[in-house]
A and B are shown apart, each in its own frame.
Chain A
Amino acid sequence: MSWVTTFLNSSIGKKTIMAITGLLLCLYLVIHLAGNLTLFGGADFFNSYVLRLSAFKPLVRIIEAVLLLIFGGHIFNGLRLSIENRKATDKKYQSNRAQENSSFSSKTMTITGSVLLVFLITHLATVWYSFQIEHSGGEFFKIIIGPVVGLGNLSVAVLYGVAMVFLGFHLHHGFQSAFQTFGIRYNRYGRLIEIISILFWFIIPAGFLWIVVYFGFLGGVK
């Protein structure tokens, strides 16, 4: 085995993959939210933004392929770690007051991650897919706020909102944990990382959530 496979199969190697892919996905969330915020510019503004993106179709496809790889790496390694960690544990304690020594978000990464995977698949199968087939019409705004897969549908809006809460929990632990994996969490950057982490576990999910509330329940931009 070369040192690369040895590294990738080691406990810390797998954690490193989780950290790198996780942080890249965090970066993608910033870009995604920035794109979503164009909804506040009204239908024409949003439609022209989407159409402008369509002009760079080959580049968008390459980015999508890279994203797929990043997601794949994160999900594969996450499931692998979760299964291996379960194997490492023995019988459950009859009495275990784990709530006294660790946070809720840190202990539920597999659960929140799995819910987010279901959300991701649903999100791709609905919103992403409808953007692929109806792209000639240029009525993307209508799709987003419409009653079929959009926020005009109450159940879609509620499920989307729930997913954002899970995202918040996942990133509350995940973002700063990535820096611990790199070994830079606990030196002079610790406090800074904690502050930046608020952007990822609170501001970004809240931003997505605000779009849901504003367009799904408060009438949105006409």
Chain B
Amino acid sequence: MRVMLKVWRQNNSKSQGVFEMYPVKNISGDMSFFEMMDMLNDRLVLDGKTPIAFDHDCREGICGTCGLFINGRTHGSLRGITTCQLHMRSFKDGETIVVEPWRAKAFPVIKDLIVDRSSFDRIMEAGGYVSIKTGGTPDANAIPIPKINVDEAMDAASCIGCGACVATCKNSSAMLFVGAKVSQYALLPQGQPEARERVLNMVAVMDEEGFGSCTNTGACEVECPKEISLEHIARMNREFLKANIS
């Protein structure tokens, strides 16, 4: 199959970007989206042109490094996948595919399709951890935890921090990300000692970094490659209100 790629090209964070058109031929439907991009980049290098810069690492949907806005949807239009798990068979032969970087003030474009997501790291530094005493490995079952909490904490912890929630949000809000990170500890006894400080600090940094507020449109939940539920935003709100009145 063949496709026409319409890709955002931008030299650096200061420069004005433009869309450029790239026809790509001889694509197999079994190729991943990135394999198709690799093929295009190889050709660009042979032609003496600058290859298209895009973020990718594990290419199996677990690292959270990749993320492209493809034909108007984050990670393409399929549910529950990252960009690296998207295959060319999802596209029609001859289709024009628009490829854009995540767009948010808190995620400035570094080059082409790569954005700076260090704002997420700073939110994590503010409270996305538990302080523990090092030493011998503790018994995994020493603290009883209800199964339902374990499962929900695990669902929250499956967030890979790719930023699709921010990218799709009409307010560029990071509340699904922060909600998941607050939730994974709020649900477990190990998270309790620092629960109050955690939610206050993480929300404060989220606001400082210039993310918008949640309008509860639910777009993030639909676009999240790990299908993180809005319930975690509700839990963060609850934790935040609780922390403020206690």
Q: Which positions in A face B, CB cutoff 8 Å?
A: 3, 6-7, 10-16, 81, 84-85, 87-98, 100-103, 106-107, 109, 173, 177, 180-187
Are B213 and A81 closer than 8 Å at their CB atoms? yes
List the 8 closest A-B pairs by CB distance, nearest first: A183-B238, A97-B72, A88-B212, A85-B171, A186-B231, A102-B217, A101-B222, A85-B212
Residues of chain A within 8 A of B218, CB atoms compared: 101-103, 106
Are B71 and A95 closer than 8 Å at their CB atoms? yes
Residues of chain A within 8 A of B206, CB atoms compared: 11
Are B172 and A181 closer than 8 Å at their CB atoms? no
- Nearest CB of A to B174, in Å: 9
Residues of chain B within 8 A of A14, CB atoms compared: 213
Residues of chain B within 8 A of A84, CB atoms compared: 212-213
Q: How far is the CA of A10 from the CA of B230 in the complex (A)?
A: 19
Are A92 and B72 closer than 8 Å at their CB atoms? no
Most interface-central of B19, B100, B106 (chain A CB within 10 A): B100
Contacts known (A95-B71, A100-B73); A89 close to B216, Cβ less than 8 A: no
Grouping DSSP codes into helix (H, G, I), strand (E, B) and loop, the A interface class, with mixed when no group exceeds half, is helix
Q: Which of B73, B104, B222, B236 contacts A88 (CB 8 A)?
A: B104
Q: Is B241 an interface residue (CB 8 A)?
A: yes
* Smallest CB gap from A183: residue in B: B238
Q: Is B219 an interface residue (CB 8 A)?
A: yes
Are B168 and A101 closer than 8 Å at their CB atoms? yes
Q: Which positions in B face A, CB cutoff 8 Å?
A: 6, 19, 69, 71-73, 77, 98, 100, 103-108, 168, 170-173, 175, 203-204, 206-207, 210-219, 222-223, 229-231, 233-241, 244
- Nearest CB of A to B225, in Å: 13
* Smallest CB gap from B237: residue in A: A183
Are A182 and B219 closer than 8 Å at their CB atoms? no
* Smallest CB gap from B98: residue in A: A95
Q: Which of A3, A7, A11, A180 contacts B216 (CB 8 A)?
A: A180
Contacts known (A100-B77, A186-B229); A93 close to B103, Cβ less than 8 A: yes
| 6 additional contacts (CB under 8 A) given A10-B204, A87-B105, A106-B218 | A81-B213, A93-B103, A96-B72, A97-B72, A98-B168, A102-B170
Residues of chain A within 8 A of B107, CB atoms compared: 90
Are B244 and A7 closer than 8 Å at their CB atoms? yes
Q: How far is the CA of A13 from the CA of B107 in the complex (A)?
A: 24
Residues of chain B within 8 A of A101, CB atoms compared: 73, 168, 217-219, 222-223
A sample of 12 cross-chain residue pairs with beta-carbon separation below 8 angstroms, ordered by A number, consists of A11-B207, A12-B236, A85-B215, A89-B172, A89-B212, A90-B104, A100-B73, A101-B73, A106-B216, A183-B237, A183-B241, A186-B229
- Nearest CB of A to B52, in Å: 16
Residues of chain B within 8 A of A3, CB atoms compared: 244
Q: How far is the CA of A100 from the CA of B75 in the complex (A)?
A: 14
Q: How far is the CA of A97 from the CA of B235 in the complex (A)?
A: 28
Residues of chain B within 8 A of A85, CB atoms compared: 170-173, 212-213, 215
Are B212 and A15 closer than 8 Å at their CB atoms? no
Are B98 and A94 closer than 8 Å at their CB atoms? yes
Q: Which of B104, B170, B213 contacts A15 (CB 8 A)?
A: B213
Are B217 and A107 closer than 8 Å at their CB atoms? yes
Most interface-central of B215, B230, B239 (chain A CB within 10 A): B215
Are A94 and B100 closer than 8 Å at their CB atoms? yes
* Smallest CB gap from A179: residue in B: B234
Q: How far is the CA of A177 from the CA of B204 in the complex (A)?
A: 22
